[in-house]
Amino acid sequence: MSMRFSVEGLDQHYGSAQVLRQIGFEIAPGECLAVLGRNGAGKSTLLKCLMGLLAPSAGTIRIDGADATAWSPHRRSRAGLAYVPQGREIFSELTVGENVEAAARAHGTYGTPAMDEAIDLFPVLREMWRRPGGALSGGQQQQLALARALVTQPKLLILDEPTEGIQPNIVALIGEVLRALKGRLSILLVEQYLDFAIDTADGFVILSRGAIVEAGRAETMTRDHLSRFIAV
């Protein structure tokens, strides 16, 4: 179920401002790569390029060896990428159930055991099933956004700061879910919460002013070392 995903020489500009510079990395099947960096380092921009929401000005994105750089977001999603943006972007007028079911229908997984399995990861969603998405707390909305991504049976789950503004017990639940999912799918985690990233990631990439300033396997990175790159 997991994919080989890689990026080479990726540049991105907003007008004349260069926001990403020669970004390159690979995510091995089933592994979690964490991207760390201070506010404004270019993390969200990178994820948008990977999803096809922004066109990079240079570079190549590969999915299982195929050049996916020019693929539409829809085609990337079909190929197994799922993206949970910062702020979650759930449909607040639709019920929890409708949010999840719409995603499953769009990916042909509606009514399958895979759909139920993804929902069961977050018990609160069954309790809130008929409530509008907008009535959920931030932590509940994050769980909904994750379930909505997971019912599509992604091969690579791309998460933009999933712990932001969320209470500790839900952060712990999300961490458990991600660690249980690793191996079955790959994860690209943008995170400012260092301990969460350390508990979850197999490898790190650190962005500063749009460039990778450090990269390596989790075992070779100490907390002290990593914290230098994200402390404000």
Ligand X SMILES: Nc1ncnc2c1ncn2[C@@H]1O[C@H](COP(=O)(O)OP(=O)(O)OP(=O)(O)O)[C@@H](O)[C@H]1O
Q: Which residues bind ligand X (CB under 6 A)?
A: 14, 19, 37, 39-45
H/E stretch holding 213 reads: strand 211-217
Residue 65 or 165: which CB sits closer to ligand X? 165
Q: Minimal CA–CA distance to 81: which of 70, 68, 92? A: 68
Residue 3 or 166: which CB sits closer to ligand X? 166
CB of 113 to ligand X, least distance (A): 36
Residue 41 or 166: which CB sits closer to ligand X? 41
H/E stretch holding 99 reads: helix 96-106
Whole-Å CA distances, 49 to 45, 129, 146, 207? 6, 33, 20, 15
Q: What does the block give as tokens for 62?
A: 């590969």
Strands 211-217 and 203-208: antiparallel
Whole-Å CA distances, 40 to 18, 35, 131, 186, 230? 12, 13, 35, 25, 11
CA–CA dist 219, 202 (Å, integer): 8
Residue 43 or 76: which CB sits closer to ligand X? 43
